[in-house]
Structure 1
Amino acid sequence: MSLFRHASNVFRLGLKELASLSRDVVMMVLILYTFTMAVYDVAKGVRTEVQNAAVAIVDDDGSGFSRRLIDAVQPPYFQQPIRVGRDQVEDLLNRGAVTFVLALPPKLEADLLSGRRPEIAIEVDATAMTQAGVGTAYLQNIVTRTARDFLHEHDADSGLPATVVTRALFNPNLESIRFNAVMQVLENITILAVILVGAAVMRERERGTIEHLMVMPVTAAEIALAKIWANGLVILVAVALSLIFVVGWALGVPVEGSMPLFLCGAALYLFAATSLGILLATVANSMPQLGLLAIPIFVVMNLLSGTTTPMEAMPEWLGVAMQVSPSTHFVALSQAILYRGAGFETVWPQMAGIFGLGLAFLLVALLRFRAMLARQA
């Protein structure tokens, strides 16, 4: 009977949280924007692949091969190449008018057919860092492929003992939108989970309604758990709708894996992240302090969780340290399910890690929450 009473208290307090949140217009607008326009804008606006890059070509050869090479540089990766003289290259790069300059030397075709190895220079404006790195590789592949095909047609030795065939799994066209859309949803989960629950606690303190709770026959654990399930449920529903309508329908990004399995993992992560939000609310004394305290927390959780930089690209000690963050396990779980279609047998270690860290955060948060209520009394 006691367990039923505790569960009933948690449920009813959660309904109070939902009613309070529904009347908070600012928070409702924030949730709506975060899982719609924020996801769409980032997915469409932030690209890691080359798109519509400006290319200038210095053609000192004027041969059939050079014309063929120029024709191979095509949209959507590159704009239609413009022919320029060597004396124009420096000015174009200084003004940022082009990102790439392809310089074709004299006697290029003749040197290729005679077995010599002519040098084709690619000058790059590296201030456009992402496009510079990826676009250079694109141009190198275009030059190599065009030269190989040209030599094969003329029965000349290409000097290439093997042809490399690359097959990209899980994202065949290497489109950044398929990565950015889902990762933005994951990052927004962290931000809202911390902010919503922390703000719910701070709202009770600033409005004085926490004193009302203290005179009711409820415990600190029931109050905290009610805030966790109510705010977590709102975010979970928003995540599911965002993946279906924004990611899947508006952006056209397929979700390969099991949606129910992902939502189970997301629910565990929300348990951990909302517990962290309560913990931060017990440290802060006001809403501005909560915001300042939360910013570095979720910035570190997002940037070092694997959404932006792969874990294997980090220093080893940092990768080990980030294992105490539930976001690291959640990103690995989400990528395995939503990109690679993994099942429970693959992601259960990440689920266990998230749940363990969530319990640790909750226990510390409850200790501080009880102390905070005692001070309020």
Structure 2
Amino acid sequence: MGRWLFNIYRLGLKELRSLKTDPVLLLLIVYMFSFAIYAVATGAKVEVVNASVAYVDLDQSDLSGRIVDAILPPEFEDPQRISAAEVDRVMDDGEYVFVLSFPPNFEADVIAERVPELQLNVDATAMVQAGNGSVFLQQIIADEITKFESQDDTSSTLPIDLIVSAQFNPNMKSTWFSSVMQIINNVTILAVMLTGAALIREREHGTIEHLLVMPVSPSEIMLAKIWANGLAIIIAAILSLWLVIQGFLSVPIAGSIMLFIAGTVLYLLSVAGLGILLATFTTSMPQFGLLVMPVLVIMNLLSGSTTPMESIPEWLQTMMQASPSTHFVSFSQAILYRGAGMETVWPDMVVMAGLSAVFFAISLMRFRQTMASGQ
């Protein structure tokens, strides 16, 4: 056992030295856990921000003016007035996401309780802004009409006193969600890519033949690649949590980082093994990249990191339980967002440990076949 552990340790040091001399991979790690996270968190927002609005006012009344004046930044740009003849053209050209049309006698019909029709045209190709923005505009219109009818500008009357308490993300900022999820996704991406690239690099440099004649076992080689590349990923993830997430983006981390690291170690055993497994089916980096891309896309998109698992068809939810990324996302969200402890996340850790054992065994069997054939 001592000799086995020593071989794993020494081979791992070799992997770290090899990684140190590869500026492309080092730059990739730095980029994935710094600028890539910051850019996505600050640039790809799901909130309604600066949505373009135009309006057609055939009524030109006090009520229509009040509604237009209530459409304010930062959710919306200043509404632009257009003619009725321009509606089709501006919607076809994509100049505005929303076009609001006030019919003639709109205010008079409201006062007379004749239920006038107010048309809101929405460019639904801008899906997030279209869905959330239309809800905001409907609320603005309803509030202004209620205030107009009651002649009370202070508040709109409701039969209940609704108190909203947003847990874990009180300002409902997408930055808080997307930044942390980028770290979780990047752990998966780099674990697969680095371990697979390490095996491909052995072949391209001709050092795989050296390993074949050395008194080391395939399990020692695999574990060395996993712990060396996994260590680089964990260090990068910790620094990213401290410097990028908590530092530059000011996103609070609710739970224990040490518990997150423990779960990440379990997870890396499976996804790093998956990287080696995929590498055994390829002979070059381009082939490996083409094989890895669809696997990573499916793992990330269907793991619950982009959309809730409840939004996925039930049969697909069941299939994705076999993916360690699904349980890692659930585990990470519970700790980093909600401050969960071991008593909450231990089921996910047990499943990740089991899946890691399965993935490692399959990868080791395939790797032994590859080593035996000398490929």
**Normalised by the shorter chain, which TM-score bucket?**
over 0.9
Q: Paired residue for 1:374?
A: 372
1:263-309 CA deviation, whole Å, 9 max, x = no partner?
A: 22222211211011111122223322222211111111011111122
- CA–CA distance in 2 between the matches of 1:119 and 1:215? 82
Q: Paired residue for 1:336?
A: 334
Q: How many residues align?
A: 373
Q: Paired residue for 1:148?
A: 146
1:102 aligns with one of 100, 105, 113: 100
Q: Paired residue for 1:265?
A: 263
- CA–CA distance in 2 between the matches of 1:102 and 1:256? 42
Q: Paired residue for 2:48?
A: 50
For the pair 1:70 / 2:63, whether they are aligned, the reply is no
Structure 1: runs of 5 or more not aligned: none
SS in 1 for 2:55: strand
Identity of aligned residues (%): 53
Q: Paired residue for 1:214?
A: 212
Stretch deviating more after TM superposition (354-363 or 88-97)? 88-97
Read off the aligned partner of 1:103 and give its amino acid letter: S
Cα deviation for residue 80 of structure 1 reads: 0.8
- CA–CA distance in 1 between the matches of 2:144 and 2:166? 21
Q: Paired residue for 2:234?
A: 236
- CA–CA distance in 2 between the matches of 1:352 and 1:275? 18
1:316 aligns with one of 305, 314, 330: 314
Read off the aligned partner of 1:74 and give its amino acid letter: L
Stretch deviating more after TM superposition (190-199 or 139-148)? 139-148
- CA–CA distance in 2 between the matches of 1:272 and 1:116? 65
1:275 aligns with one of 269, 273, 276: 273
Cα–Cα, structure 1 residues 61 and 167, in superposed 2: closer, same or farther, change >3 Å? Answer: farther
- CA–CA distance in 1 between the matches of 2:103 and 2:269? 62
Q: Paired residue for 1:177?
A: 175
- CA–CA distance in 1 between the matches of 2:301 and 2:133? 25
Stretch deviating more after TM superposition (74-83 or 254-263)? 254-263
Read off the aligned partner of 2:101 and give its amino acid letter: A
Q: Paired residue for 2:84?
A: 86
Read off the aligned partner of 1:65 and give its amino acid letter: L
Cα–Cα, structure 1 residues 101 and 332, in superposed 2: closer, same or farther, change >3 Å? Answer: same
SS in 2 for 1:58: strand
Q: Paired residue for 2:58?
A: 60
Cα–Cα, structure 1 residues 139 and 280, in superposed 2: closer, same or farther, change >3 Å? Answer: same
TM-score by length of 1: 0.93
TM-score by length of 2: 0.93
Q: Paired residue for 2:248?
A: 250
Cα deviation for residue 96 of structure 1 reads: 1.7
Stretch deviating more after TM superposition (182-191 or 358-367)? 182-191
Stretch deviating more after TM superposition (253-262 or 327-336)? 253-262
SS in 2 for 1:57: strand
1:300-322 CA deviation, whole Å, 9 max, x = no partner?
A: 10111111221111111100000
- CA–CA distance in 1 between the matches of 2:147 and 2:284? 68
Stretch deviating more after TM superposition (248-257 or 364-373)? 248-257
Cα–Cα, structure 1 residues 21 and 180, in superposed 2: closer, same or farther, change >3 Å? Answer: same
1:174-203 CA deviation, whole Å, 9 max, x = no partner?
A: 222222211222221111111100111111
1:147-199 CA deviation, whole Å, 9 max, x = no partner?
A: 233334359xx896446544332223322222221122222111111110011
Read off the aligned partner of 1:139 and give its amino acid letter: L
1:202 aligns with one of 200, 203, 216: 200
SS in 1 for 2:49: coil
For the pair 1:128 / 2:90, whether they are aligned, the reply is no
Cα deviation for residue 84 of structure 1 reads: 2.2
Q: Paired residue for 1:26?
A: 24
1:223 aligns with one of 221, 240, 259: 221
What do you get for the CA RMSD once the two structures are aligned? Answer: 2.0
Cα–Cα, structure 1 residues 167 and 103, in superposed 2: closer, same or farther, change >3 Å? Answer: farther
1:75-111 CA deviation, whole Å, 9 max, x = no partner?
A: 1110011122222222222222211111223333343
Query: What is the 5 A alignment of 1:354-369?
Result: 354-369=352-367
